[in-house]
Chains A and B, each alone.
Chain A
Amino acid sequence: MNLKGLLNSTTIADRILLFILILLSLSGIIFIKEVLPKGHIVWIEVNGHPVYLLPIEKDRIVSVNGSEGNTIVEIKNHKVRITESPCDNKLCIQQGWIEKGSIVCLPNRVVVIVGTPEDELNKRVDAITG
């Protein structure tokens, strides 16, 4: 039986069923998109002030102006690392690639955090008293 024959042999009920199945699968896609967590972001702060908010999906290299000079942050394959830093101990560079968590360069006051946007919201305060 060829495709035309197959289509001809369907009843209205079959077609409605097919249509409904397509609808169901589409709504499933929307459902998953809404419910599953969104991708991680790379949050870069200098002296406690956010300077970059980058998606981890896009590979790039950014230069961050810290209190001692420029820190170079590289994002590649959903991972982040510091490649250059003006600090003495270079601990931040030694830490290498991270997928989650943070890299802190205390001398240059640069903080790189990888997390979901919701995590970042929790870090900030909702109001200040005083």
Chain B
Amino acid sequence: MKNKFNVHPPQRTKFNVLIFIFLLFTVHYSLFTLYGCASQKENVYRKSKILMDTLVTITVVSSSKDSAEKAIDTAFSEIEKLEKLFNFFSPESELSLINKNAGISEVKVSQDTLDILDKTLYVSEKTEGAFDATIGPVITLYDFYKKVKPEDSSIKKKLSLVNYRYLMIDRNKSTAFLKKRGMHIDLGGISKGYAADKAVETLKRNRIHSGLVSVAGDIKAFGLKPDGRPWKIGIRNPRAKGQEDDIMATIELTDTAISTSGDYERSFINDGKRYHHLLNPRTGYPAEGCQSVSIITKECAFTDAFATGIFILGPEKGIKTLEKMGFDGVIVDSQGKVHTTPHIRGKVEFKRSS
């Protein structure tokens, strides 16, 4: 029969067809996987939470919503952990233990507390004591909510307790000790920046390669946005009318931190004079000379603490110190004049409206 005759050839065709189909599928499949890679679009995910008595906002770039949210939540719990260690008002915090044992005994503390105290001492030295975390006894005399200005005599009395040189830390024994009874450390000028650094570390550990952590005005950026651009940060106009987010300048950042200290933050006006929380450790009174100071460098703990320290040093000395440190900065002095470090010109975009 004809069929018998043809047995062999159809089988061969069948085999060829199978190969052909297989090849087609391979090509098609690889096209789809390629497309799949391209379509794994990266999105920006953002979450906010109130921590450390302020609004913390974390933004991450990720291709998956789940992993983005997981990473953000882990970073939030890292900040919560630090909040428990550094809280000035909570009696159980390690900071309170150090304060309670001032002049009595050294206190065993965690690595984070050691690290942050070490950094406060570093900034104190570099700012000639303008930044001083032992300002605690004086700052508690002020009540920025009730707008109470303390008596001159009580400031004078407490001023002898303010000196960072009386804070001793021992890295080998993991202990901290305040030499004088009645001394108090207040980490308010550095803890938010330190928390931002730690939050970024946590995000990176959770395989986030790009993001932005802002603990109030202490901001740390890393990586790039999905469009390949750096993160854009606005610097608030210190004399903004109303509560609006009035920006005087913008700057693009990646793998860098920025912080701003301003006399408008926690402040009140008494007898035509502005009383704000940036106290000069030498006088116990609010520092004069600046309206706002923004610092830019890698570590947010440093931008935070130096913003306070440079504010107290004033514009001229401030710029000199920043140049020595190799940090960038923008200072608005009390006359409204803007001072900048030389390298920052061109990086900051000033708005003409302000």
Interface of A (DSSP majority class): helix
How many chain B residues touch A (CB < 8 A): the figure is 39
Q: Is the CB of B236 within 8 A of A11?
A: no
Is B229 at the interface (CB under 8 A from chain A)? yes
What separation, in Å, do the CA atoms of A32 and B345 have in the docked complex? 42
Is A1 at the interface (CB under 8 A from chain B)? no
- Closest Cβ neighbor of A23 among chain B residues: B28
Q: Digit string of A11-48 for contact with B (CB within 8 Å is 1, else 0)?
A: 11100110010011001001100110000000000000
Q: Digit string of B240-257 for contact with A (CB within 8 Å is 1, else 0)?
A: 000001010010000000
Q: Is the CB of B231 within 8 A of A127?
A: yes
Q: Is the CB of A31 within 8 A of B233?
A: no
Among B28, B227, B236, the residue within 8 A (CB) of A129 is B236
Is B218 at the interface (CB under 8 A from chain A)? yes
- Closest Cβ neighbor of B240 among chain A residues: A130
Interface residues of B in 1-50 (CB under 8 A from A): 17, 20-21, 24-25, 28, 31-32, 35, 38-39, 41
- Closest Cβ neighbor of A130 among chain B residues: B236
Interface residues on A, range: 20 to 34
Among B24, B235, B258, the residue within 8 A (CB) of A17 is B24
Is A118 at the interface (CB under 8 A from chain B)? yes
Q: Is the CB of B59 within 8 A of A128?
A: no
Is A3 at the interface (CB under 8 A from chain B)? no
12 new A-B contacts, CB < 8 A, other than A16-B21, A27-B31, A129-B294, are A11-B17, A17-B24, A20-B25, A20-B28, A24-B31, A122-B227, A124-B232, A127-B57, A127-B234, A129-B218, A129-B236, A130-B217
Enumerate chain B interface residues (CB-CB to A < 8 A). Answer: 17, 20-21, 24-25, 28, 31-32, 35, 38-39, 41, 57, 59, 212, 214, 217-219, 221, 225, 227, 229, 231-236, 238, 245, 247, 250, 258-260, 262, 292, 294
Enumerate chain A interface residues (CB-CB to B < 8 A). Answer: 11-13, 16-17, 20, 23-24, 27, 30-31, 34-35, 118, 121-122, 124-130
Closest CB pairs A-B (n = 3): A130-B236, A130-B260, A125-B234
